[in-house]
Chain A
Amino acid sequence: MVRKDGCYLYGILPEGEAEKILSEYGMMEKKSSKWRKLIKDPEDERKVKVSVEDVLSILREESPSIDLDKLSEVVEKYCGDVYLLRASSYRIVPPSPDIPLGILYLSRVLRRYGLAGTIVRMKGRKGRGDKYVLLAANICRVDYAFYSLAAKPRKDLKVECPCDAKIEDGCMVVIDRESLGLLDA
């Protein structure tokens, strides 16, 4: 650590602990290097298009907290392109009627699968940035920047509405069939 006056401060650690820290640091560097291979040639430095297979292969070695089988199933069934988004480059947006239905639907499906499902919008462009749905937040760290795994819905995604909504006598009525367990009935 460097003090304000330029002096270096050193901490003295027991031999075993220092080795542990060094090995942890080495592990982190090793992990970063795998991700760096994916992010080395970003089309836009804030957003990198990746293949799901590459991401899954790295994640399988890392043993993360997310269910990788569910993730691969969801991506195959519902998602189009998959991206790594730098965490500082997007903003979380709540579900709203102004968001395309495909994005809303993907978000709901991901939540049902126990994945993140957060809708995000890229910063800049005066609030009209591209919208994505997060599959997993802060999945990796490369050069002090965290990246999240996000996706766009498939172009041919069929939106199957889990709720009934209609206008009756000037009022809106919504029945959430999924929560009421009426979806299969």
Chain B
Amino acid sequence: MHIGRLIEVCEKRVERIVKASRIYPELVNRASRPLSRLRLLKALKEVVEEVEVELPNGCRRIWHPYPPEAVSLIRKINEAVKKNGLRVSFFNVWLNNEKAYVSVRDEETGYTVYAVTCSSGQPDLLGEPDMEWRGLRIYSLDKIREYFERCIKYVESLYPNTNYYRDAVREVQSIIESLGRYVGVIRLSYDQLRYFKGYEIVVEPELIDRGLGSSRSSK
């Protein structure tokens, strides 16, 4: 849906409330949510052309790293809403048919819209491994260092005003560098992890047998 159309619908609702308030002034209370909604949509209009009120069928929620188009849209939306003095909560991203849907939730009213952009797919920050062995992807330390640099750049592009993550990345990097010349990487699904006292514990018996029983900090 074009954002102009949604703004029109919202304006009609506000107009209706204004007319009703001329008869029953108590109805002024009904205007706060549509007006906040209208403010958010007008702020989004500066950077977004297409929005959806509900996600279409078949959308798949994705985790980081987000597609570069979604990252650039998130940055633009952040700037636009800050400029208009609004507060929106954290963005989530869904993919469907080469389109990315970025959720924008107004913190004041809880109203959520999905900004739509095209998507070239999720970037692979880790890259191709030097070797694969029984599901383990093995990388040289140089490649891992490059990976960490790409991670930092990605976070910087997404959240330019935060820097707390740098220390965390450096800490992990120093631990990995002390281990040896190569690093084995395995993709874990959420079924294979359990959150426990600030740690994500590997619960898959087969992976534990392979030496992945250790935990990693999620903080």
Contact = CB atoms under 8 A, between A and B. Distances in A.
A162 B26 CA distance: 13
B118 to A, nearest CB: 32
B17 A101 contact: no
Nearest to B16: A97
A163 B27 CA distance: 11
A163 B28 CA distance: 11
Interface string A81-107: 000000000000001111101001101
A170 B27 contact: no
Given A170-B39, A171-B35, A174-B28, A97 B17 contact: yes
Contact of B35 (A95, A165, A172): A172
A163 B20 contact: no
A166 B19 CA distance: 9
Interface string A151-185: 00000000101111111001110101001000000
Contact of B22 (A107, A161, A179): A161
B21 interface: yes
Contacts of B141: none
Interface class of chain A by DSSP: mixed
B22, B25, B28 pick with most chain A CB within 10 angstroms: B22
A167 B23 contact: no
B15 to A, nearest CB: 9
Contacts of A165: 18-19, 21-22, 25, 28
Interface residues of B, number: 20
Contact of A101 (B19, B25, B28, B30): B19
Nearest to B26: A95
A167 B11 CA distance: 11
B23 A108 contact: yes
Contacts of B17: 97, 172
Contact of A174 (B14, B16, B25, B38): B25
Nearest to A102: B23
Interface string B1-44: 00000000000011011111111111110110001001100000
Contact of A172 (B13, B16, B28, B39): B28
A95 B18 contact: no
A104 B20 contact: yes
Contacts of A164: 22
A163 B20 CA distance: 10
Given A96-B30, A97-B30, A174-B28, A159 B35 contact: no
B21 A163 contact: yes
Nearest to B18: A165
B57 to A, nearest CB: 25
Contacts of B13: 97
Given A96-B27, A163-B21, 11 more contacts: A95-B20, A97-B13, A97-B16, A101-B23, A108-B24, A159-B23, A163-B22, A165-B18, A167-B14, A170-B39, A172-B18
A104 B30 contact: no
Nearest to B35: A170
A77 to B, nearest CB: 16
Contacts of B16: 97-98
Contacts of A108: 23-24
A20 to B, nearest CB: 46
Nearest to B32: A172
